[in-house]
Amino acid sequence: MRDTVAANTITANRRMSRFDDHDEVWLFGYGSLIFKADFPYITRRPASIRGWVRRFWQGSHDHRGTPEAPGRVVTLIREKGAVCEGMAYRITPAVFEHLDYREKNGYLRFATDMTFADGSHTEGLVYIATTENDAFLGPAPEAEIARQIALATGPSGPNRDYLLNLSHALRELDEDDPHVFALERQLLAFEGK
């Protein structure tokens, strides 16, 4: 049985004080932070970060699944030359208390450079669930991942809604993410749609 406290990243994230003395910070979101902005922000802009790909390789015990039947949510995996599109939010550091709680199932805050559509860039933060965290599941065949997503549900709702909301949000951003769209197709096929 895994120790759920070990997967709780709140304490580690509070030690990440890099931007604490800033009035405002840019936060890069690439998963649910794109489609579910349940926090106050000053402004938001589509943005991208380099060297990472989005993958449904992180287990979710607390939002889209349970400890007994974890769902799957996205994290970022290093890949040379890759570009991950998402949404950047300008927030005050006070918002991190809420975000650290929301992202506590394995996600750590990292400093990152991010680029906006007009080519300008800035430094900010991103939450990444690294391969070492207890809830990390890693790769699996697409059909298997889609099946797990189709069957899992947790306190934040069905895992399928996370995948479908994300693919919808990526389409709105004009982003082609083959991994996410393939899983969406597999999920709908599994559901007979």
Pick 31 or 146: Cβ nearer ligand SIN? 31
Pick 164 or 189: Cβ nearer ligand SIN? 164
Nearest approach, Cβ of 159 to ligand SIN (angstroms)?
Answer: 11
Residue with the CB atom nearest ligand SIN in the bound state: 31
Give catalytic status of residue 132 as yes or no. no
Pick 156 or 186: Cβ nearer ligand SIN? 156
Pick 138 or 189: Cβ nearer ligand SIN? 138
Say if residue 87 is exposed, middle or buried (CB neighbours under 10 Å; 0-12, 13-18, 19+).
Answer: buried
Name the site residues for ligand SIN (rule: CB under 6 A): 29-33, 73-74, 103, 127
Nearest approach, Cβ of 172 to ligand SIN (angstroms)?
Answer: 15
Nearest approach, Cβ of 36 to ligand SIN (angstroms)?
Answer: 8
Lookup result for tokens 């990472």: 52
Find the catalytic residue in 24, 68, 103, 184.
103
CA dihedral 101, 107, 111, 112 (to 10 degrees): -120
Nearest approach, Cβ of 8 to ligand SIN (angstroms)?
Answer: 15
CB 177 within 8 A of CB 77: no
How far apart CA 96 and CA 193 sit, in angstroms, is: 39
Length of the chain: 193
Helix (H) or strand (E) holding 14: helix 10-14
Lookup result for tokens 């994290």: 75
Active-site annotation, residues: 103
